[in-house]
Chains A and B, each alone.
Chain A
Amino acid sequence: MNMKTQAGAEPTPATTGTGAAFRPVGTGSPPRLSGWRRQQLAGWLFLTPAIAYLLFAFALPIVYNVMLSFERTSPATIGNLTAPFTGLSNYRFILHDPTSRAAIVRTFEFTAGSLFGQFIIGFALALLFSLRFPGRTLARSLVIVPWLLPLIVTGVIFRFLFQAEGGAVNQLLMNVGLAHHPTQWLNDPHLALWTILIANVWLGVPFFTLLLYSGLQDVPVEVKEAAIIDGAGPWQRLRLVIVPIILPVIEVTFLLGFVFTVKVFDLVIGLTGGGPANSTQLITTWSYNLSFQQFSFGEGAALNNVLLVLALICSPLYLLLSRGSLRRSWGADT
């Protein structure tokens, strides 16, 4: 807001005259012959730290991870940068190891379940918040709380709430008469993943709510009114008018939700640590276990690459949905 006033105080091209008359996009004043080259140089210099960082913290680890997945590593080779080449044996291990296979399948199930729950609840809340009612601003600002907490804290909170003895969930279920004895949420291999799923839905709902809410804000009032005049009921309005309009937002939300859920790690470690009996190992936690607890970095790296491929499957779609941002990269906006 004060940005505008400050911007107004700056000299505008109109007051400074000749300079900007026939400039190419983004380049400066023609009077300096070296202007274009000077700006190219400056642009590159501004970019240098970011390029160096991306190469060191993203490109190098990804390439190194691929190398690692083809190496026979052992605790003794960790001190070296490389280990003997071993072909596809790490990938063969991943495909035959029951825990790894289960972790891959479970990651899919967990992600699908989470997205479903997050979308249903998030969309319901987004619709609620787009109505006018007393206290909605406060409610909207409080609903993002889960999103801001460190994930490990969320993990331990839910571990506390789902304890068999003295946990709030069992206490509630027994108090209202839905259960007669405590449920072993975290110690039962069939239930533990559900517990993580519930925690993850809780965690992801604010994100879905906020994005879908901002999508709903863009639905023109006239369209909604026209639908009412045409006699569409609330459900028809939602299904035939609102959802089609905000479909792009829904797509982006699902995509980002997928990417976010597929990497969940802290939550599982905080809640179950992957147990009981590896029944809640996801790709991320099992990869951590292989690399950092069994010191089989090669096998961990192979599993990492499965995860990487899974996550990157979305990248063309993600780039497509971000094309607005990319298109500006051509300088067409200026």
Chain B
Amino acid sequence: MTHPQKSRALRWLCTLAAAAALVFVLFPVYAIIVGSFESTETLFSGTFYWLPHAATLDNYRTVLQGGSASTQAGVNTGQSGNVLTSLIVGLGTALLALTVAVPAAYALSKYRLRVTLVIVSSLLIAQIIPAIVLATSLFIVFHWIHLLNSYPGLIIADGTYAIPFAILVLRAFFFSLPNELMHAARVDGASEWQTFRLIVLPLARSAVITVAIFAFLAGWGDFIFALTILNGAGIQPITLGIYSYLGNYSTDWGAVMASGVFAMVPAGVMLVVAQRYIAAGLTAGSVKG
């Protein structure tokens, strides 16, 4: 074989290897999507069907209208309300993260403050703190100040995933803005706030979008704070809804998988429409929320 031919064969071999790897990576996602369209009879037949068997929308109907034999949470009024709850929590987390993180990141990169080193070290360490440690304490503290079972309580807790990450990513971005920009604005008589609001913020648009997407996904996908801070009586995000279908002895697989597909939608949408922000966030932060 001549050299170019050999290298072309090698390249296709790589494609083949990558395709094989992707089968493993994507198969579980494929399985839940296909499974969500299977009938209860198929799901409990004891046979796994590699291809769609007898597609039906029954599971989605069950999940949207409620009425499933819910196994752990007692009441389950259907996932449509839960999807809305998760949207509110996700958007709330993104909003909180931006409100706190954008000005902080600006201060930590463009102002010379004594606390900068302490705060940045704290942020790095905060990313390490396991959520269960915070959840145990926040449960009692929130009980005391009446934030249990509330949107603000859950959003504040979910912010712990997003805010340290957001500040660090935005700070890295602000370093890339030339200081002359700020000096010029000041010379022209802009106040500090105007400089931030009118000059810096518009330039930070793409970094802000990246951070907002990750904060949204963190709030949307959160399970541990929802499990501890909400006690099932009031608001219930979709992650808790899925959990409520899991039984110790029997699981309503159709309902679990249809709600699981709902829960995957934002990630799927982001992957398609915001691919470049996702890639930027993943490499910039190097930490998942």
Instruction: List A residues at the B interface (Cβ < 8 Å).
Output: 3, 6-7, 10-13, 15-17, 19-20, 23-29, 35, 38-40, 42-47, 49-51, 53-54, 56-58, 60-62, 64-65, 68, 78-79, 81, 125, 128-129, 131-136, 139, 141-154, 156-161, 165-168, 170-171, 202, 205-207, 210-211, 214, 252, 256, 259-260, 262-263, 265-266, 269-270, 273, 275, 284, 287-288, 291-292, 297, 300-301, 304-305, 307-308, 311-312, 314-315, 318-319, 322, 325-326, 328-331, 333-334
Contact = CB atoms under 8 A, between A and B. Distances in A.
Count chain B CB atoms within 10 A of each CB in A17, A26, A206 and give the residue with the most: A26
> Which 10 pairs from chain A and chain B are nearest by CB?
A43-B111, A150-B221, A50-B104, A42-B192, A61-B137, A133-B14, A46-B107, A148-B267, A46-B103, A263-B130
B203 A318 contact: no
Count chain A CB atoms within 10 A of each CB in B113, B139, B278 and give the residue with the most: B113
Contact of B113 (A40, A152, A266, A287): A40
Contact of A25 (B112, B156, B251): B112
Given A13-B180, A39-B111, A81-B141, 19 more contacts: A7-B177, A7-B178, A23-B183, A24-B112, A57-B134, A133-B14, A133-B15, A142-B22, A149-B263, A153-B242, A159-B246, A160-B257, A270-B242, A288-B227, A292-B139, A301-B137, A307-B130, A308-B133, A331-B112
A206 B111 contact: no
22 contacts: A6-B203, A10-B181, A10-B185, A13-B184, A26-B111, A26-B179, A47-B103, A50-B100, A53-B100, A58-B126, A61-B137, A149-B29, A149-B263, A152-B239, A211-B286, A266-B239, A270-B242, A287-B132, A311-B130, A315-B128, A319-B121, A325-B124
A20 B186 CA distance: 10
A50 B119 contact: yes
B57 interface: no
A149 B267 contact: yes
**Chain A interface secondary structure, helix, strand, loop or mixed?**
helix
Contact of B104 (A47, A60, A157): A47
A326 B121 contact: yes
B131 interface: yes
Given A38-B192, A326-B120, A78 B143 contact: yes
B171 to A, nearest CB: 8
Given A210-B283, A263-B130, A150 B188 contact: no
A12 to B, nearest CB: 6
Interface residues of B, number: 126
Contacts of B172: 325
B75 interface: no
B136 A65 contact: yes
Nearest to A284: B132
**Chain B interface secondary structure, helix, strand, loop or mixed?**
helix
Contacts of B156: 53, 56-57
A152 B100 contact: no
A149 B193 contact: no
B184 A10 contact: yes
A156 B113 contact: no
A135 B16 CA distance: 10
B39 to A, nearest CB: 13
B248 interface: yes
Interface of B: 11-12, 14-15, 17-19, 21-22, 24-29, 31-32, 35, 43-48, 50, 99-101, 103-104, 106-113, 115-117, 119-141, 143-144, 156-157, 159-160, 163, 167-168, 171-172, 175, 177-188, 192-193, 196, 199, 202-203, 206, 217, 220-224, 227-228, 239, 242-243, 246, 248, 251, 253, 256-257, 260, 263-264, 267, 270-271, 275, 278-279, 282-283, 286-288
A138 B135 CA distance: 38
Contacts of B257: 156, 160
Contacts of B263: 149-150, 152-153
A214 B18 contact: no
Given A61-B134, A273-B248, A308-B129, A42 B193 contact: yes
B192 A39 contact: yes
Nearest to A6: B203
A331 B108 CA distance: 10
A173 B202 CA distance: 56
Contact of B124 (A57, A288, A301, A315): A315
Nearest to A168: B48
Contacts of A153: 32, 221, 239, 242, 260, 263-264
A61 B138 CA distance: 6
B32 A49 contact: no
Contacts of B187: 13, 16-17, 19-20, 28-29
A278 B228 CA distance: 20
B228 A27 contact: no
